[in-house]
Amino acid sequence: MGWGKGKGHHAAVVAAEAALVGGAIVGTAAVAAAASRPRPARRTEVVVVQGAPAPAAAPLVVVPSKGKGKRKGKGKGKGKWKSAAEIPALGIAAIGIPATSIERQAGVTFFGIDVLAEGTAVAYQVRRRYREFDGLRASLHRLAPSAAINCDFPPKHRFFGCEGARLEARRTALEQWLKRALSDPNSRGCWCMQLRNFLEVGQVHTLPEAAPLPPASAPGWNASATEEEGQTLQITVPDGVAAGQALAVSVPDGRQLAFTLPVGYPAGSVLEVWFEPTAGILNMDCHAGILRITLAGDEESDDSARPIIGSEREELLTR
């Protein structure tokens, strides 16, 4: 009894603590119940706008690399890592290796590759050795081992020289092999940069100059008059150029003039154009407005120079 430190005092304290703890438990339960109630989500109006389709992403190629690195802590690590690099489009419309493009310099044979880039009308030429073709083949095989890139590649001639029929067979085989590599799906992926570098796509190339014909032997016709009044030029039609497309022709005075290829001249054919230096134009009309077409086996005479028109010209070209 009283306010001493007896049993009654301790009982009161215990009862009070129990009441406080019980109140805390109830309060915590109330807060937990309130927190567990889901709040209504805010409603947002969505308007669908019809727009232009998203642009196609540039292709990516995974490039494997080797690296050495040090890190904090114990040990040193060596490992391989891969990075994704964006590659450009192949950019090649057509290629060809004409038989007339083979050159031999200092005992080394070069093959001239006529390349027509996409979006252009005039082909340029790249000169490559057989060894460079073989190096390209090895690089493509390393990038795509499962591709059949080795099956039709022309073999080396270890004991016989590559001349005559063997050289022509090699030229044909290299041309077919390169065309097949460019049409392979890997050419738009992991082979793209190798092929672009081999064919020098995107680089600046100088077009070959048109070769002027020797001056005619007609009376009153001399070299000085030819240079002042004009002259006939020969143009070899490059591969991949069709009728109606424009050619950039380098003329003897250093200028480059545009010339539209007419109908009836396939790739590899030679046509004659008349160059007017004063006006700076090229046209199909030869000197004095006459188009000369000399057929194989025909004798040249005054009657052989006459205007050729319409179906008659097409018939002559197909003979």
* Secondary structure (H, E, C), 91-153: CEEEEECCHHHCEEECCEEEEEEEEEECCCCCCEEEEEEHHHHHHHHHHHHHHCCCCCCCCCC
Structural domains in the chain, CATH included, are 92-198 (3.30.1520.10), 211-317 (no CATH)
Higher pLDDT, 125 or 107: 125
Q: For residue range 3-46, what is the model confidence (pLDDT) as tens digits?
A: 555 555 555 444 444 444 444 444 444 444 544 555 554 443 43
Mean pLDDT of 271-292: 65
Q: Which amino acid is at 309?
A: I
In the numeric block, the tokens 């339960």 are attached to 29
Closest Cα partner for 195 from 258, 290, 286, 117?
Answer: 117
Residue 236 burial (C-beta neighbours within 10 Å; 0-12, 13-18, 19+)? middle
Which of the four pLDDT bands, split at 50, 70 and 90, describes residue 90? Answer: confident
Q: What does 161-181 look like in DSSP terms, one character per residue? A: ---THHHHHHHHHHHHHHHHH
Query: Does the structure show a pLDDT above 80 at 143?
Result: yes
Query: Does the structure show a pLDDT above 70 at 219?
Result: no
- Check residue 113 and give its pLDDT: 94
- Check residue 38 and give its pLDDT: 56
Question: Could you tell me the CA-to-CA distances from 268 to 98, 123, 235 in Å, in that order?
Answer: 9, 12, 10
Among 106-110, 193-197, 288-292, 311-315, which is the least confidently predicted range?
288-292
Which of the four pLDDT bands, split at 50, 70 and 90, describes residue 125? Answer: very high
- Check residue 78 and give its pLDDT: 53
Query: Does the structure show a pLDDT above 90 at 177?
Result: yes
Q: Which amino acid is at 295?
A: L
- What is the β-pairing status of strands 211-212 and 231-236? antiparallel
265: number of Cβ within 10 Å = 17
Q: Are 130 and 104 in contact (CB under 8 A)?
A: no
Query: Does the structure show a pLDDT above 90 at 198?
Result: yes
Among 71-75, 188-192, 247-251, 274-278, which is the least confidently predicted range?
71-75
d(CA 163, CA 102): 11
- Check residue 119 and give its pLDDT: 86
Question: Could you tell me the CA-to-CA distances from 160 to 68, 105, 155, 169 in Å, in that order?
Answer: 47, 19, 12, 14
Which of the four pLDDT bands, split at 50, 70 and 90, describes residue 126? Answer: very high
- Check residue 181 and give its pLDDT: 93
Among 49-58, 91-100, 187-196, 220-229, which is the least confidently predicted range?
49-58
Q: Which amino acid is at 319?
A: R
Which of the four pLDDT bands, split at 50, 70 and 90, describes residue 150? Answer: confident
- Check residue 234 and give its pLDDT: 83
Which of the four pLDDT bands, split at 50, 70 and 90, describes residue 290? Answer: very low
- Check residue 112 and give its pLDDT: 93
Query: Does the structure show a pLDDT above 70 at 253?
Result: yes
- Check residue 132 and give its pLDDT: 94
